[in-house]
């Protein structure tokens, strides 16, 4: 028994086909159970693998998202990459994907796939600046202020640093990351970011995998949370380009918009780099 899959790079840079965040999409689950879906994600060993099945009324497909160790209710680059596959098969330029976090609309426009994020819940984190600095391996004076928890479908700790250089020099401490930033998803998730211009941001996302710290090349859920933070602060009419992934040799570009109604959208370039069949039978 086999299942068709696609390999894609999401939030890729123009002209750089192997930039962005890799994703595997199982095109049709065909009744696969959760244990098998999780095993497939371990087999691909990418940051996320998605499994597609027919959608409920009001959606074009149901999508489950798996890391090599857990299932997530929402993640950005899996949403965009899966939307490109689902829409491409149906000849559409927009789809609604049903996820555990709710229906997520995704549209192709201006050469990018763009999702409309759920409103984020934002709260100030009860963490000292010194602890945040030690967790990220930076100087306390490089932390711009209190960190926040933000959740537009995946809860993460957002830590603003004062310069892009501080973001690039960050060297997270694994035990502190797990102690200070553990989430209900079973992972510690920390997003370090800094303004590098009036409409540009440098960012890195660190997450725990067992006892190790792993860095994500491009994190659409974090951009959704960052846009949610800006909306929470009353900012409107923003169009920001986020650079991520250079530290792990997967340079990526993510586009974040907060419109005049505080609606947050996250978009990027999706490239297919391969397809095939994987055996799921004995």
273, burial (CB in 10 Å: exposed 0-12, middle 13-18, buried 19+): middle
Nearest in space to 51 (alpha carbons), one of 100, 114, 109, 91? 100
Average pLDDT over residues 240-267: 98
Residue 200 CA, distance from chain mean position? 18
200 Cβ neighbours under 8 A, 6+ residues apart:
240, 241, 242, 243
Least confident window among 107-111, 165-169, 239-243 = 107-111
What value does the mean pLDDT of the chain take?
96
CB 59 within 8 A of CB 97: yes
Query: Is 48 a residue of the active site?
Result: yes
Please identify which of the residues 16, 27, 48, 233 carries the catalytic annotation: 48
Please check whether residue 36 is in contact with residue 30, taking contact to mean a CB–CB distance below 8 angstroms.
no
What gap in Å lies between CA 84 and CA 113, rounded to an integer? 7
Residue 282 has pLDDT above 70, yes or no: no
Q: What is the pLDDT averaged over residues 55-75?
A: 94
E-only strand ranges, 27-153: 49-53, 61-66, 71-72, 94-99, 102-109, 112-116, 121-124, 148-151
pLDDT at site 137: 98
Q: For 74-127, how does the pLDDT look when each residue is reduced to its tens digit (9 = 90+)?
A: 999 999 999 999 999 999 999 999 999 999 999 999 899 999 999 999 999 999
Residue 281 has pLDDT above 80, yes or no: no
Query: Of 32-36, 178-182, 210-214, which gets the smallest average pLDDT?
Result: 210-214
- SS3 state of residue 218: coil
Residue ranges of domains in the chain, CATH in brackets: 2-110+269-279 (3.10.310.10), 121-267 (3.10.310.10)
Secondary structure (3-state) at 95:
strand
């Amino acid at each position: 028994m086999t299942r068709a899959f696609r390999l894609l790079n999401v939030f890729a840079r123009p002209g750089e086909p192997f930039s962005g965040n890799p994703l595997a999409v199982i095109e049709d689950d065909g009744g696969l159970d959760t244990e098998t879906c999780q095993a497939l994600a371990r087999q691909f060993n990418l940051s996320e693998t998605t499994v597609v099945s027919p959608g409920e009324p009001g959606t074009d497909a149901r999508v489950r998202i798996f890391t090599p160790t857990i299932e997530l209710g929402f993640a950005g680059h899996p949403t965009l990459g899966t939307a490109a596959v689902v829409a491409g098969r149906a000849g559409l330029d927009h789809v609604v994907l049903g996820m555990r976090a709710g229906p997520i609309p995704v549209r192709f426009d201006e050469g990018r796939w763009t999702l409309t994020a759920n409103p984020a819940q934002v709260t100030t984190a009860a963490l000292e600046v010194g602890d945040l600095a030690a967790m990220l391996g930076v100087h306390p004076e490089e932390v711009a202020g209190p960190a926040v928890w933000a959740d537009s479908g995946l809860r993460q700790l957002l830590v603003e640093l004062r310069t892009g250089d501080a973001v690039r020099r960050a060297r997270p401490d694994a035990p502190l990351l797990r102690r200070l930033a553990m989430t209900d998803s079973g992972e510690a998730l920390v997003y370090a970011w800094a303004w590098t211009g009036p409409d540009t941001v440098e960012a890195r996302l660190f997450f725990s995998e067992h006892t190790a710290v792993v860095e994500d090349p491009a994190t659409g859920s974090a951009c959704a949370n960052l846009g949610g933070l800006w909306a929470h602060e009353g900012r409107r009419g923003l169009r920001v380009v986020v650079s991520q992934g250079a530290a792990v040799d997967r340079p990526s570009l993510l586009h974040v918009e907060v419109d005049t109604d505080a609606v947050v959208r996250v978009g990027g370039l999706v490239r297919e780099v391969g397809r095939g069949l994987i055996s799921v039978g004995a």
